[in-house]
């Protein structure tokens, strides 16, 4: 009987999803986590905050973000750092002095992994003749494996100006690029995943007062969710809207995560399902309590109600 109990206990341990230990990464600052499941493992593509180096020319209290690492885990507690996958000095069109490698995303399509990242383009970088001054553009790097090596394309996506790319691949295979540029935009991607098909359009019905950025869209049981940080009061909180189409119209549906108790100004995020449980990946400033441009990524369980609405996430730190 004792043996049977031990076997049963071991089976329960094996089938119970492991629990995240927050913050997830302890040896460097990480922000803006996009988590994806590839080949049964969780891969997190965050951006990378650093302390300002001597050659940094920007505002002293601003983001300093030179490159991207990717991390993988099969238990949400032990993370493998696969190293730098894209850096500001390794992309032809990116200003290598800007330190503005902001929130990225990565998706899989037809045997390739597409990594989307915003950065400030060099003044003379030119894709389709539409770059007039240094400004945020969105680039793509392509790999055969989720951890790379990633090969960045020599130009950014023509016709897109903005930050915080997020790609949703719909059930029919159509890919949509969401991004922010004051408001949230969406554009269909061509099958090559590196150009848009038609003009980007603004997503209607989202708050017009206070910054809205960092879109993360997904589909669940026929409902399209658009989740986004919004400054409703002083700092960002996570809100969401629902629709029956990836292009909208969306209807505001509530708050997923209240303003951070730490006062961290930003709360970029992503949502994924893994081993039967949904998780919210987001960041706070756990490793840098006095400077919120040095952030740290977290994950917490997220639950849906039977009508598809989302329950508020309770942050944990342990
Ligand atoms: O990390 C830099 C920027 O801060 C991101 O792109 C925004 O979403 C905000 O988190």
223, two tokens? 């409902």
pLDDT at 2 over 70: no
Which residues, 6+ apart, have CB-to-CB distance to 178 below 8 Å? 165, 166, 167, 168, 184, 185, 186, 203, 215, 216, 217, 226
pLDDT at 53 over 60: yes
pLDDT at 36 over 70: yes
Distance from residue 100's CA to the centre of ligand 1 (Å) = 10
Atom 3 (ligand 1) nearest CA:
102
Phi then psi for 151, rounded to 5 degrees? -110, 115
- What pLDDT was estimated at residue 130? 59
Average pLDDT, the chain: 92
Distance from residue 29's CA to the centre of ligand 1 (Å) = 13
pLDDT at 19 over 90: no
For residue 159, is it left (φ>0), alpha (ψ between -120 and 50) or beta?
left
Which atom of ligand 1 is least distant from the CA of 283? 10
Atom 1 (ligand 1) nearest CA:
102
- What pLDDT was estimated at residue 55? 87
- What pLDDT was estimated at residue 14? 42
ipTM, two decimals:
0.98
Express each pLDDT in 203-214 by its tens digit.
999 998 999 999
Strands 112-120 and 105-109: antiparallel
Residues lining ligand 1, Cβ inside 6 A: 31-32, 47, 63, 102-103, 163-164, 213-214, 266, 268
Which atom of ligand 1 is least distant from the CA of 163? 6
- What pLDDT was estimated at residue 123? 79
* Mutational pocket test of ligand 1: of 46, 50, 63, 139, the residue with most ligand atoms within 8 Å of the beta carbon: 63
pLDDT at 134 over 80: no
Express each pLDDT in 161-183 by its tens digit.
999 999 999 999 999 999 999 99
Give me the active site residues, please.
32, 213
Which residues, 6+ apart, have CB-to-CB distance to 113 below 8 Å? 38, 106, 107, 142, 143, 144, 145, 146, 148, 150
**CA dist., res. 177 & res. 215, Å (int):** 10
Yes or no: say if 283 and 296 are a contact pair by the CB < 8 Å rule.
yes
DSSP code per residue over 151-195:
EE-SS--TT-B-EEEEEEE-TTS-EEEEEEESEEEEEEEPTTSSS
* Mutational pocket test of ligand 1: of 231, 268, 291, the residue with most ligand atoms within 8 Å of the beta carbon: 268
* Mutational pocket test of ligand 1: of 29, 30, 32, 259, the residue with most ligand atoms within 8 Å of the beta carbon: 32
Atom 2 (ligand 1) nearest CA:
102
Give percent of the chain with pLDDT exceeding 70.
Answer: 91
- What pLDDT was estimated at residue 13? 40
Which atom of ligand 1 is least distant from the CA of 103? 6
pTM over 0.95: no
**CA dist., res. 175 & res. 177, Å (int):** 7
Distance from residue 5's CA to the centre of ligand 1 (Å) = 49
**CA dist., res. 41 & res. 17, Å (int):** 13
């Amino acid at each position: 009987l004792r043996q049977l109990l031990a076997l049963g206990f071991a089976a329960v341990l094996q089938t119970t999803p492991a629990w995240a230990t927050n913050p997830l990464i302890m040896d460097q600052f990480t922000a803006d986590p996009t988590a994806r499941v590839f080949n049964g493992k969780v891969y997190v593509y965050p951006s990378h905050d650093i302390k300002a180096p001597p050659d940094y020319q920007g505002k002293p209290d601003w983001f300093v973000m030179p490159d991207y690492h990717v991390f993988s885990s099969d238990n949400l507690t032990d993370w493998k750092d696969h190293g730098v996958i894209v850096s500001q000095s390794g992309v032809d069109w990116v200003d290598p002095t800007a330190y503005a490698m902001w929130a990225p995303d990565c998706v899989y399509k037809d045997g390739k992994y597409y990594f989307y990242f915003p950065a400030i383009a060099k003044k003379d970088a030119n894709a389709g003749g539409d770059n007039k001054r240094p400004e945020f553009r969105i680039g793509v790097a392509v790999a055969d494996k989720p951890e790379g090596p990633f090969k960045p394309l020599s130009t950014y996506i023509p016709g897109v100006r903005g930050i915080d790319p997020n790609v949703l691949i719909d059930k029919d295979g159509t890919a949509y690029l969401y991004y922010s540029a004051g408001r949230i935009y969406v554009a269909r991607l061509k099958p090559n995943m590196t150009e848009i098909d038609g003009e980007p359009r603004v997503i209607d019905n989202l708050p017009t007062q206070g910054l809205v950025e960092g879109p993360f869209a997904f589909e669940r049981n026929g409902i399209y969710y658009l989740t986004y940080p919004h400054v409703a009061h002083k700092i960002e909180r996570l809100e969401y809207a629902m629709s029956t189409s990836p292009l909208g119209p969306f209807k505001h549906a509530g708050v997923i995560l209240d303003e951070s108790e730490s006062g961290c100004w930003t709360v970029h995020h992503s949502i994924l399902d893994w081993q039967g449980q949904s998780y919210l990946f987001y960041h706070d400033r756990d490793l840098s309590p006095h400077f919120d441009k040095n952030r740290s990524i977290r994950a917490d369980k997220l639950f849906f109600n039977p009508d598809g609405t989302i329950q508020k996430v309770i942050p944990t730190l342990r």
